[in-house]
Chain A
Amino acid sequence: METLQQIVKEKTPEPVKAAAQVSIETTGSLAVLDALLKENVDTVFGYPGGAIMPLYDALYDYNEPLNHVLVRHEQGAIHAAQGYARVSGKTGVVFATSGPGATNLVTGLADALIDSTPLVCITGQVFAHLLGTDAFQETDVINITTPITKWNYQVTDAEEIPSVLAKAFFIAGSGRPGPVLIDITKNAQLQKFNYEGYNKCNHIRSYRPTPNIRKEYIEEAAALINNAKKPFVIFGQGIILGKAENEFKKFIEKGGLPAAWTILGMSAIPTDHPLGVGMLGMHGNYGPNVLTNECDVLIAVGMRFDDRVTGRLDKYAKQAKVIHLDIDPAEIDKNVKSTVPVWGDCKETLPLLTALLDKKEHTDWLQQFHDYKKKEEETCIQPELHPTTDVLSMGEVINLLNETTKGEAVIVTDVGQHQMVACRYAKYTQTKSNITSGGLGTMGFALPAAIGAKFGAPQRTVVAVIGDGGFQMTLQELGTIMQTGVDVKIIILNNQFLGMVRQWQELFQQKRYSFTDIMSPDYVALAAAYKISSNKVTDRDKLKSAIDTMLDHKGSYLLEIMVGKENNVFPMVPQGCSVSEIRLS
C-alpha cells in the first residue's frame, strides 16, 4: 500500500505540485495520518482493534515518519501520551478502538482535562449504519467522554476528517489546553474521497482561546503590588503551559516577590531560585502555607485554587487582596474571589505587569519564609532526609537521586505518599521536569507516563518514582518497555501499604487499617520476566551504589527500595483545616 505522500508524488503532474491544493482520491484513514504529519506529530501511542483496523492498516506504511508505540492497555496509551505532552509541550496523540478500547481512555481523559494536558485521541467506531444498534464493541463514546473532554466529535463521513482534525489540534493545544476525542466510524476510515489537502485551523468563531487583555486591570494589579508590604506569588502549571518561564522569572525578580509553586507549577523556575519559597498545599512547605494567611497581596498566576492548595476556603487568605492571572475566565472567582482579575495568556500579561512594577526587594518578608523553613527543616526535613534509624525513608532516596542527577532528570511520580515526598524534596534545574497526576490523583499514572515522557524528551534521563500500590495498577506496561526498548528508570518505593490512605487511617481513624495492607509480587523476578534489569535494596549502605548502577545502566532498569512501613508525610494541612493550621507532626 502506498502512503499518501507517494500517491501525491506519483499522481501529481510537475507544475501542479507547487500549488498548495491538489485534489486527489484518498481514504479517510490516510487523511488522518496526513493530518498528523502536517501537525508535526512524530509519536502515537495506541492499541489496535476491530473498529480502528483501517487506520492501523494505513499506519503500516507510515512507520518511518510516525513512531507508533504499542502499549499493553489503552489507559497506558493515554497516560503515555500525557507524559509525552507534558515534557515536550506538544500535543499527545492516542489511537484506540471502539467500545472497551475507548472506555479504557476515560481515566486518562479525565486526568488530562483536570491537568490541562493537550491530547488528541482518535477512537475507531462501528460502521455509521450500525450506530445505536448495540453492535459488537459499540459504545456511545461521545456521550461518555463529553464531560471529560475539552471537545469531542464523531466523524461519519471521511470528507470531514481534514477539517475536524485541524479543529481538534487547534482546540487541544490553544487557550487552556485539554484533551480532544475524535470518534471515527469504520466506514469513514475506509471511505474514498477527494482530498484537497490539509489546512491548519487557527480560528473558530465561537471559540476564543485567549481573552483580550484589559489594560486597566494590569495597571490596578501593578499598583497593588507596588504598594504591598508583603506580596506573595503563588503559581501553577499555567507558566509552563504558556511557555512563560522567563517572563515569570523577570516578574518576580523585578518585584522581589517570594513565589511558591503548586504541584504542577513545580520546575517552572529552578527549585533553588532565591525567590522560590517552596510548594503549596496539603503536604507543601510550612512557610508558604502559613504565610498565605499573612500576606497583604496574593498574586496567583496560572493556578486554579484547588482545595488541596487552599485548605478551608473561608479561612484562606482573607486578609489579602487577590490578583488572579489566568487564561480561563471560568477560573476567575471560582474558588477565591479576586480583587483584580487579569484574564489573558500569562506570556503576554506578565511582561505588561513587570513593566509597571517598581524594582524592589522585600528582604524582611522573605526572611519570614526562611524562618519557617528553618523550623520545618528541624522537625520534618532533617528526619526525613537523614533518618537516625536503620529503616530507609522515601525522602533520603529522593535526596540521593537529586545528588546523582544534579536536578536534571525528569521525575515522573504516581499518586500517594511517595508522590508528596518526591515533590517536596526533588530538585529541578529545568522546566517541564515534574510530571505527576495532580488534579485527578490517578494511581497507575507514572509507569506509562514515564514511557511517554522518554519518547517526548529522549535526550533526558527519565525516572519514574512509584509506590507499590500504584505500580501494580499499570505494571503491564513493562511489556511496552520490553518491546520498544525505551530507557526508563523505575524506582518502586515499597512500604507494603497503600501509604497515604494508611496515614489518614492512622491519624484520623484510630489506626483502623482497613484494606491498606497490600502485598507485592517479587518485582525483581517480574522485571526479569520482562527482560528488564533490576535490583532490590533494603539497606542504607547499598542505596547509593544501587541508584548509581540504575542511572549508569544502558536501558531500562527497575529498582525496588524497601522503605519504612508506617512513615508519614509531614507537614500536613488536615482536610477541613485552614492552611495556617498546618501540622508539623
Chain B
Amino acid sequence: MRQEYTITVYTENQIGLLNRIAIIFSRRKINIHSLNTSPSEVEGIHRFNIVIEETEDVVRQLSRQIEKQVEVLKVYFNTNEEIIWQEMALYKVSTDEIAEKVKVERLLREYGARVVAIRKDFTVFETTGQREETNRLIKILEPLGLIEFVRSARIAIIKDSKGFHEKVKEFEAREPSAEVVENEYLDKKEEVFTM
C-alpha cells in the first residue's frame, strides 16, 4: 500500500552528499515531497528528513541504497503514526485588508497563528502544525488577498527512538580514523548542511 513515509538519515557533514542522496530518488523517478537537513542530537552528525509516498517495499529498498553511501551512518523509515511531525508556514497579507475585514485576534486564537511582522503595507503570520492545519489558514487568507505563502519541509521525531548517541558509539567502536580536513569552501560557521 502506498502511503507517506518519513525517512530519517543520519550522515556525516560532506559536500555533495545531498546530491548523492537526492539522485537515489530521482534515478527511480520518485518525487520527494519534502526534504529537510539539520544538525542532529549528536554533534557533527547531520540529519535528513525526507518525505515520500511509496509502498513499504520500495521505501525499504531506497533506505538500503541510501545507507550504502559511504558517508551515511544510518537510515530509518517510519509511517506517520510512528512519528511526531510538524511543518511551519508563513503567510503574507496586506495589512489594510486584514485590519479591515478580519478579527485578527480570532485568527490568532483559532488557528494558533502568530504575527511575526507588521508593517504599514503588509503583515506576516506564521503557523506550525501538520498539513491540514497550515492549509486551513490558507483558505481563510486567500479571499483576503494572500500575497505570499511558503511552507517549510517536514521535521519529524521518531516516537520510539532512543536517540543516536548509542549508535554513534557503536559506529566508533574501533579507533576512529583521522577525519578528512574540512574543505575550505565549506562554511564552517554555518551548522546547517549546505549544498
Residues of A participating in the B interface, judged by any CB pair closer than 8 Å: 128, 131, 142-143, 146-147, 150-154, 156-157, 159-160, 163-164, 167, 171, 199, 201-208, 328-330, 332-334
Contact = CB atoms under 8 A, between A and B. Distances in A.
Interface stretch (B95-103, B109-117, B171-179): B171-179
A205 to B, nearest CB: 5
Interface in B23-37: 23, 27
5 contacts: A154-B183, A156-B184, A333-B61, A334-B61, A334-B64
B183 A157 contact: yes
Contacts of A199: 178
A142 B172 contact: no
Contacts of B143: none
A154 B73 CA distance: 21
Contact of A203 (B12, B16, B20, B174): B174
Contacts of A330: 61, 64-65, 67-68
Contact of B177 (A153, A157, A203): A203
Given A156-B185, A159-B181, A163-B180, A206 B68 contact: no
B71 interface: yes
A334 B61 CA distance: 7
Contacts of B90: none
Contacts of A154: 15-16, 183
Contacts of B180: 153, 160, 163-164, 167
B70 interface: yes
Nearest to B64: A330
B62 to A, nearest CB: 10
B177 A201 contact: yes
Given A146-B23, A329-B64, A330-B64, A207 B70 contact: yes
A206 B178 contact: no
Interface of B: 11-12, 15-16, 19-20, 23, 27, 60-61, 64-65, 67-68, 70-73, 168, 171-172, 174-181, 183-185
B73 A205 contact: yes
Given A150-B70, A205-B171, A143 B178 contact: no
A206 B72 contact: yes
Nearest to A164: B180
Contacts of A206: 11-12, 70-73, 171
B178 A163 contact: yes
Contacts of A329: 64, 67-68
A333 B20 CA distance: 22
A143 B67 CA distance: 19
Contacts of A171: 70
A203 B16 CA distance: 21
Given A147-B27, A157-B184, 9 more contacts: A146-B19, A156-B184, A156-B185, A163-B181, A204-B177, A205-B12, A206-B72, A330-B68, A333-B61
A152 B16 contact: yes
Interface SS, A side: mixed
Interface SS, B side: loop
A332 B176 CA distance: 29
A142 B20 CA distance: 10
A164 B171 CA distance: 20
Contact of B70 (A131, A204, A333): A204
A131 B64 CA distance: 33
Question: Which of B168, B176, B180, B184 has most A Cβ within 10 Å?
Answer: B180
B177 A156 contact: no
B83 to A, nearest CB: 23
Contacts of B61: 330, 333-334
Contacts of A153: 16, 180
Nearest to A202: B177
Nearest to B11: A206
Contacts of B19: 143, 146
A530 B120 CA distance: 82
Contacts of B181: 157, 159-160, 163
B16 A143 contact: yes
> What are the nearest 4 A-B pairs in CB distance?
A330-B64, A206-B73, A205-B171, A151-B70
Nearest to A157: B184
B70 A205 contact: no
A168 B160 CA distance: 37
Contact of B175 (A128, A159, A203): A203
A206 B177 CA distance: 11
Contacts of B16: 142-143, 146, 152-154
Contacts of A147: 23, 27
A204 B11 CA distance: 12
A278 to B, nearest CB: 31
A535 to B, nearest CB: 47
Contacts of A143: 16, 19
